[in-house]
Amino acid sequence: MAPAFPSGDDRADFGTGEHKQFSFHDIVLRNRLTALVVDGVDFCRLVEQGFLRSCGLETQGVNNGDAAVELIASGAKFDLIIIDMFLPVMDGLETTRRIRALGERCKIVGVSAYIGENDREAFLAAGGDVFSEKPVSPEVLIPILRELDGQYSNI
Amino acid sequence: MDRNRLQHQVACMRRSLFDQGYLDEPFIQLEELQDDANPNFVQEIVTLFYSDSARLIQNIEHALNSRPIDFDKLDDYMHQFKGSSSSIGAKKVTNECTVFREYCSAENAEGCIRSFQQVKQEYAILRRKLEVYLQMVRQAAVSRTA
């Protein structure tokens, strides 16, 4: 039996008086959606893939931009790509540009441990769609997934 | 120990980890990934965090001990470490990472060294607290099936 973590009020208000708006369990997908996670840190990639799988997506992960571009160039199709801006060798911005240059039009979410307005603008200019602080939260991801799944937004 | 009392203790300890700012929202998201198909997920993810981030900490220490200090490389390593820490919801650790980055941006070696001591301290404190907490969670799980 899995250890159960405190639920109910203890979850809803974890001591700060804040109440969560979304959970990764708040979405039920009607369609098969796939996602690629591009993150150079193994731990972060596993966490991001774990969240996406809990939402019902099939996921694949790579640890660098070259591998991501190669995968797309080989014909692999994804509904969503999550890219860490900090990648070894080829950074997230260049990875995004090259993926777009291949004609890939799927939703691309950029994530970074540090975010600033310049970073966001650079990412959008590179062809990205949404820029988020790491880790990507359900508040950011759920509306995107609903859109990809053809659901109405509940925000 | 009485089962209800144990579960109450687990809940109290968990609340204190959040109230005292050691953990925040992403940890809750990770807890929600634990289920009967992945019964030890949180323990596994915490273990993975500490083993994975140990390498990053070593890299930072090595970079801080190099002369001259390569502040760009230092910033890169801390970027990765902060990404990991924030992904597990290690709030105090990530706050100290932000302080470190300010010193790094200013190329203030002494500030970097001092603030990195704080990073490591918070990292170690959280590790101890999580070990105690997860042990209590396991005990509570055993008591439920007993």
B4-34, pLDDT tens digit by residue? Answer: 888 999 999 999 999 999 999 999 999 998 8
Average pLDDT across chain B, whole number: 93
- How distant is the alpha carbon of residue B30 from its chain centre? 13
Q: Are A50 and B42 in contact (CB under 8 A)?
A: no
Q: What is the pLDDT of residue B30?
A: 93
Q: Predicted confidence band at B1 (pLDDT cuts at 50, 70, 90)?
A: low
What whole-number distance in Å separates Cα of residue A84 and Cα of residue A123? Answer: 11
pLDDT at A11 over 60: no
- CB atoms B76 and A43 under 8 Å: no
Burial level of A19, CB count in 10 A (0-12/13-18/19+)? exposed
Percent of the residues in chain B that have a pLDDT greater than 70, as a whole number: 98
- The pLDDT of residue A154 is above 70: no
pLDDT score, position B36 = 84
Mean pLDDT is lowest, of A25-34, A55-64, A86-95, B1-10, for B1-10
Cross-chain Cβ contact B39/A6 below 8 Å: no
Number of H helices, E strands in chain A: 6, 5
Quick check: B33 and A51 CB within 8 A? yes
Q: What length does chain A have? A: 155
Q: Collect all residues of chain A within an 8 Å Cβ-Cβ radius of residue B19.
A: 14-16
Q: How many CA atoms lie within 13 A of B48 on its CB side?
A: 17
Q: Of B32, B45, B52, which to mutate for an interface test with A (greatest number of A Cβ within 10 Å)?
A: B32
**For chain B, what percent of residues have pLDDT higher than 90?**
82
Classified as helix, coil or strand, A141 is helix
pLDDT for res A23: 79
| Interfacial B residues in 72-111 facing A (CB < 8 Å) | 76, 79-80, 82-84, 86-88, 97, 101
Work out the percent of chain A whose per-residue pLDDT is above 90. 74
Predicted confidence (pLDDT) at residue A16 exceeds the cutoff of 90 = no
Alpha-carbon dihedral angle through residues A110, A114, A117, A119, given to the nearest 10 degrees: -50
**Per-residue model confidence as pLDDT tens digits over A114-151:** 888 899 999 999 999 999 999 999 999 999 999 999 98
- pLDDT tens digits for range B77-111: 999 999 999 999 999 999 999 999 999 999 999 99
Q: Reply yes or no on whether the pLDDT at B51 is more than 70.
A: yes
